[in-house]
């Protein structure tokens, strides 16, 4: 029997996940409400079927894959259709949000009588036969993990309640994206004082693994910085009232600046691209 999966939107990650599912025999539905022509092209290329919100409810699983700022909004938008559906999908929030936010989303979804799982995606959008994109799930999942594995997803079930998968994503993203921000701002500071070349030479000599990380991560970050702002705010909330929460509040503002620099082709983005010789990937 064919497994049907709905994906809330065909963004870069959503479309890549959709393509992987289609390649492994699933039927994949998506919504183009409020989406761009580029989204429609990604959906078509991935083999996803564009439908109205009500038709998304015909899926076995509904994966919410969006920028974190939209995660609660989409749950609220879909709630009437979920409530009206006689046969409801299992709703899996796969967004980079804090445990508190995912709990709020769960409440919206469960109030419609729909089952809910907490998910987090770690890794790049799936490509080809690679298995680097991991889908961590927490909550009462039954045979969900087994079914999603059968259609090509690298699902890792956690024996933990809703909130655990989101906590894992917050901690992982806090390390990786926090390190990218830290390297970027220190490299820019060195450039402003005329010692950028010397810093890069020293990093290459004494911290080669870290420097290699920056060479890959910084150019890749710039086109995505606008999506990382809300994620850093979520990480700040995840850390609650602890002093380190302020670190990520500040990093969110750093990514706001980088997003503006990239969009307007301003100096900081140009300097970072020149230092690392990258082109960035959307």
What confidence tens digit (pLDDT) does each residue in 21-52 have? Answer: 999 999 999 999 888 888 899 999 999 999 99
pLDDT of 129 reads: 79
Chain centroid to CA 17: how far?
Answer: 12
Q: Strand (E) positions, the chain?
A: 4-7, 27-30, 49-50, 61-64, 90-93, 116-122, 134-138, 154-157
DSSP-H helix ranges across 114-163: 144-150
Q: Which CATH code, of 1.20.120, 1.10.3470, 1.10.1040, 1.10.357, is assigned to 166-276?
A: 1.10.1040
Structure tokens at 222: 């710039």
Pairing status of strand 134-138 against strand 154-157? parallel
pLDDT of 282 reads: 42
Higher-confidence residue of 225 and 266: namely 225
Give me the CATH code for the 4-160 domain, please.
Answer: 3.40.50.720
**Location of each CATH 1.10.1040 domain in the chain:** 166-276
**Location of each CATH 3.40.50.720 domain in the chain:** 4-160
Q: What is the C-alpha separation between 35 and 280, in angstroms, rounded?
A: 23
Q: Which residue has the tokens 């969110």?
A: 252
∠107-16-148 over CA atoms, to 5°? 55
Q: Strand (E) positions, 94-214?
A: 116-122, 134-138, 154-157
Higher-confidence residue of 157 and 276: namely 157
**pLDDT of 101 higher than 70:** yes
- Name, in order, each residue with C-beta under 8 angstroms of 240's C-beta and a sequence gap of 6 or more: none
Q: What is the C-alpha separation between 80 and 126, in angstroms, rounded?
A: 31
Pairing status of strand 4-7 against strand 27-30? parallel
- Residue 278 pLDDT level (bands cut at 50, 70, 90): low
What b/e string do you get for 140-159 counting C-beta neighbours within 10 Å, with b at 16 or more? ebeebbebbeebbbbbbbbe
End-to-end CA distance of the chain, in Å?
36
∠188-190-195 over CA atoms, to 5°? 135
- Residue 171 pLDDT level (bands cut at 50, 70, 90): very high
Q: Which residue has the tokens 């992982």?
A: 172
Q: What percent of the chain has pLDDT over 70?
A: 98
Structure tokens at 100: 């508190």
**pLDDT of 280 higher than 90:** no
Q: What average pLDDT does the chain have?
A: 94
Q: What is the C-alpha separation between 135 and 157, in angstroms, rounded?
A: 8
pLDDT digits (tens, 9 = 90+) for 123-169: 999 988 778 999 999 999 889 999 999 999 999 999 999 999 999 99
What's the Cα-to-Cα distance from 84 to each of 113, 117, 134, 273, rounded to whole Å? 10, 20, 32, 50
Q: What is the pTM of this model?
A: 0.92
- Residue 277 pLDDT level (bands cut at 50, 70, 90): confident
pLDDT digits (tens, 9 = 90+) for 245-274: 999 999 999 999 999 999 887 789 999 998
pLDDT of 265 reads: 76
- Residue 95 pLDDT level (bands cut at 50, 70, 90): very high
């Amino acid at each position: 029997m064919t497994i049907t999966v709905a994906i809330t939107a065909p963004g870069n990650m959503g479309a890549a996940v959709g393509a992987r599912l289609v390649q492994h025999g699933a039927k994949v539905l998506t919504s183009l409400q409020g989406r761009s022509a580029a989204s429609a092209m990604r959906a078509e290329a991935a083999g996803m079927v564009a439908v109205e919100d009500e038709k998304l409810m015909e899926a076995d699983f509904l994966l919410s894959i969006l920028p974190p700022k939209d995660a609660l909004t989409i749950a609220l938008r879909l709630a009437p259709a979920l409530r009206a559906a006689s046969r409801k999908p299992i709703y899996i929030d796969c967004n980079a949000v804090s445990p508190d936010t995912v709990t709020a989303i769960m409440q919206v979804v469960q109030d419609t009588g729909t089952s809910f799982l907490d998910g987090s995606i770690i890794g790049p959008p799936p490509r080809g036969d690679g298995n680097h994109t991991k889908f961590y799930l927490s909550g009462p999942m039954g045979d969900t993990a087994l079914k999603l594995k059968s259609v090509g997803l690298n699902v890792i079930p956690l024996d933990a309640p809703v909130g655990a998968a989101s906590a894992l994503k917050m901690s992982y993203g806090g390390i990786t994206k926090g390190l990218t921000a830290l390297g970027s701002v220190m490299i820019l500071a060195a450039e402003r004082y005329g010692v950028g070349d010397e810093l890069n030479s020293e990093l290459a000599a004494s911290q080669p693994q870290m420097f290699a990380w920056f060479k890959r991560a910084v150019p890749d970050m710039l086109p995505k910085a606008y999506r990382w702002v809300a994620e850093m705010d979520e990480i700040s909330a995840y850390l609650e009232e602890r002093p380190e929460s302020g670190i990520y509040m500040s990093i969110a503002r750093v990514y706001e600046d980088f997003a503006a620099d990239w969009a307007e082709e301003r100096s900081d983005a140009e300097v970072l691209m020149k230092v690392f010789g990258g082109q960035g990937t959307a």
